[in-house]
């Protein structure tokens, strides 16, 4: 791939735009326009983030049809509540993905029967290949960074974090699965994320 | 800062908490500036975990459906403060409204059973009849709150307004009901037969539900029943005296 040479651009984690156009507006730029009822901005925002929302939803809920429903619900909710987004509290993409994760998890918890859930968990622990077609260099570098940073956690930290995030489990369920006391699991989740944060270089002091 | 609550920061940003824990933690956040920074940072961190998932090619139909639905969905008007209304609230009400406010997608068969949704929706945004019913109970001047742990696990909170003749039930952390079994909700008055006021969907271990009429009911109960429910409670998990 000849595009491999460039440095990842800051703030371009959300993409979905042909390479020959000018730098597309970021989710952070689009969201205030969406909040003012700008439907074109919403369509652009959809193109920029829906693939990631759908990918996350599928990872958590497993079922493609349900993942699409979650994606639609989340994007409409983004439209509806865009005015509540507060840039001081984080990035637009984190806001959207947080909403997506919560909704995916809620769906798993409210609808999944016990047996379905068991098989879903097994599936979510399998390696997930990624789709080259919609993958661009920036996304790939970011994925590698996330994997590298996940690799720096202790095994228990990593397991606690991934079971909760990708598996949609509560920390109580994680404690049961890992046969670890509840306070330990809570601590491992927090310590693991703090280590991830430092590895990813995320810093909010100036923003919050 | 309260160290015990604060250790939930990781589980909170991972959505690995239940509704009441989320509510408790958010109250803690409201009072703790340094916690807000930490949670914001950890929230950004967690959102990056989504980078390690497949970016899906979205089907064209989904885009059309989403844009069309958005086009007919009114946008939320955000008040200056953006915060929820706390004028009329007592302590319990803050807790309960916030917990209930995590609610709100109408959930399937029963008109009064709500499933928990991911979005915090406060009462002024409540758009459905169910949402208004819930807000009506929580807002009622005579609303009273009753809480009890359940056997063999979980807890029940019931808010009752005799004036409105409705109650709001919050259940959390129920144990797995078991294969082919569900939880059923009851109101009991004296020696009369218990009256069924709702059933949880199969697999559900938490709920926020409006029940009623509650006028002279003295006791709320939760029982474990076969899917489809029973005409009278068989395995009772716990009861809450409503007085």
How much is the pLDDT for A174? Answer: 95
Which residues of chain A are modeled with pLDDT < 50?
A: 1-21, 113-115, 117-134, 208
The whole-chain average pLDDT of chain B stands at: 75
Nearest chain A Cα to B173, which residue? A172
pLDDT tens sequence across A78-124: 999 999 998 888 899 999 999 999 999 988 887 654 445 444 444 44
Does ipTM come in above 0.95?
no
- Which residues from chain A sit within 8 angstroms of residue B47, using beta carbons? 90-91, 93-94, 97-98, 101
How much is the pLDDT for B121? Answer: 37
Name the minimum distance, in Å, from the CA of B129 to any CA of chain A: 19
How much is the pLDDT for B19? Answer: 81
The two three-digit tokens of residue A76, written as one number: 């409409």
Average pLDDT of span B27-51: 90
The beta-carbon neighbor of B48 closest among A82, A146, A183 is A146
Better-predicted residue by pLDDT, A163 or B118: A163
Regarding pTM above 0.90, the answer is: no
Name the minimum distance, in Å, from the CA of A98 to any CA of chain B: 6
Residue A202: name the closest of B128, B26, B19, B38 by CA.
Answer: B38
Q: A165 vs B119: CB contact, 8 Å cut-off? A: no
pLDDT at B84 over 60: no
- Which residues from chain B sit within 8 angstroms of residue A193, using beta carbons? 9-10, 13-14, 42, 45-46
E strand spans, chain B: 105-106, 113-115, 144-149, 155-161, 166-172, 181-188, 195-199, 207-211, 219-226, 235-241
Distance CA A53, CA A41 (A): 17
Of A170-184, B96-110, B172-186, B216-230, give the lowest mean pLDDT range: B96-110
* Beta carbons within 8 Å of B38's beta carbon, 6+ residues apart: B9
Q: Residues of A numbered 90-119 whose beta carbons fall under 8 angstroms of chain B's beta carbons: which are they? A: 90-91, 93-94, 97-103, 105-106, 109-115, 117
How much is the pLDDT for A40? Answer: 95
Distance CA B29, CA A31 (A): 25
The beta-carbon neighbor of A54 closest among B41, B58, B67 is B58
- Contact, B234 vs B225, CB < 8 A? yes
The two three-digit tokens of residue B83, written as one number: 């915060």
Compute CA distances B194 → A164, B158, B191, whole Å: 39, 17, 9
Tell me the pLDDT band of B157, cut-offs 50, 70 and 90: confident
**Residue reference for tokens 């947080």:** A98
pLDDT at B105 over 70: no
How much is the pLDDT for B152? Answer: 74
Average pLDDT of span B137-164: 80
H-helix or E-strand spanning residue A192: helix A182-200
The two three-digit tokens of residue A48, written as one number: 């920029």
Average pLDDT of span B230-236: 87
* Beta carbons within 8 Å of A2's beta carbon, 6+ residues apart: none
Under DSSP, is residue A199 helix (H, G, I), strand (E, B) or coil?
helix
Distance CA B42, CA A199 (A): 12
Q: A86 vs B82: CB contact, 8 Å cut-off? A: yes
Q: B37 vs A208: CB contact, 8 Å cut-off? A: yes
How much is the pLDDT for A152? Answer: 94
Helices (H), A152-181: 155-165, 171-178
Q: B16 vs A82: CB contact, 8 Å cut-off? A: no
- Contact, B134 vs B103, CB < 8 A? yes
pLDDT at B123 over 70: no
How much is the pLDDT for B131? Answer: 63
């Amino acid at each position: 791939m000849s595009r491999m040479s460039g440095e990842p651009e800051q703030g371009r984690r959300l993409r979905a735009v042909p390479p020959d156009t000018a730098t597309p507006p970021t989710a952070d730029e689009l969201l205030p326009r969406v909040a003012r009822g700008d439907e074109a901005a919403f369509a652009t925002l959809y193109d920029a983030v829906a693939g990631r929302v759908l990918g996350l939803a599928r990872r958590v809920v497993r079922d493609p049809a349900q993942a699409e429903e979650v994606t639609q619900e989340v994007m409409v909710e983004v439209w509806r509540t865009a005015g509540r987004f507060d840039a001081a509290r984080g990035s637009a993409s984190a806001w959207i993905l947080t909403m997506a994760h919560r909704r995916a998890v809620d769906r798993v918890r409210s609808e999944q029967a016990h047996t379905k859930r068991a098989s879903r968990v097994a599936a979510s622990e399998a390696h997930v290949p990624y789709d080259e077609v919609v993958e661009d260099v920036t996304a790939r570098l970011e994925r590698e960074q996330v994997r590298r940073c996940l690799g720096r956690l202790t095994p228990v930290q990593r397991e606690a974090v991934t079971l909760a995030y990708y598996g949609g489990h509560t920390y109580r369920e994680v404690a049961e699965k890992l046969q670890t006391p509840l306070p330990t699991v809570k601590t491992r989740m927090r310590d693991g994320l703090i280590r991830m944060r430092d590895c990813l270089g995320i810093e909010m002091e100036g923003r919050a | 800062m309260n160290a015990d609550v604060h250790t939930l920061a990781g589980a909170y940003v991972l959505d690995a908490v239940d509704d009441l824990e989320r509510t408790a933690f958010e109250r803690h956040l409201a009072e703790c500036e340094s916690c807000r920074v930490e949670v914001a940072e950890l929230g950004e961190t967690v959102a990056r975990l989504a980078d390690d998932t497949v970016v899906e090619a979205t089907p064209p139909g989904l885009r059309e459906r989403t844009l069309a639905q958005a086009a007919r969905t009114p946008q939320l008007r955000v008040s200056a403060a953006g915060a929820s209304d706390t004028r009329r609230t007592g302590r319990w009400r803050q807790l309960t409204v916030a917990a209930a406010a995590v609610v709100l997608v109408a959930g399937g068969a029963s008109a009064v059973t709500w499933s928990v949704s991911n979005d915090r929706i406060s009462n002024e945004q409540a758009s459905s009849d169910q949402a208004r019913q819930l807000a009506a109970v929580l807002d009622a001047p005579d609303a009273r709150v009753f809480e009890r742990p359940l056997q063999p696990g979980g807890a029940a909170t019931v808010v009752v307004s005799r004036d409105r003749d409705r109650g709001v039930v919050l259940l959390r952390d129920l144990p797995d009901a078991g294969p082919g079994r569900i939880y059923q909700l009851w109101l009991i008055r004296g020696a009369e037969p218990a009256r069924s006021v709702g059933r949880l969907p199969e697999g559900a271990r938490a709920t926020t539900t409006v029940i009623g009429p509650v006028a002279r009911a003295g006791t709320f109960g939760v029982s474990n029943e076969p899917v489809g429910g029973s005409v009278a409670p068989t395995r009772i998990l716990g009861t809450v005296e409503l007085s």
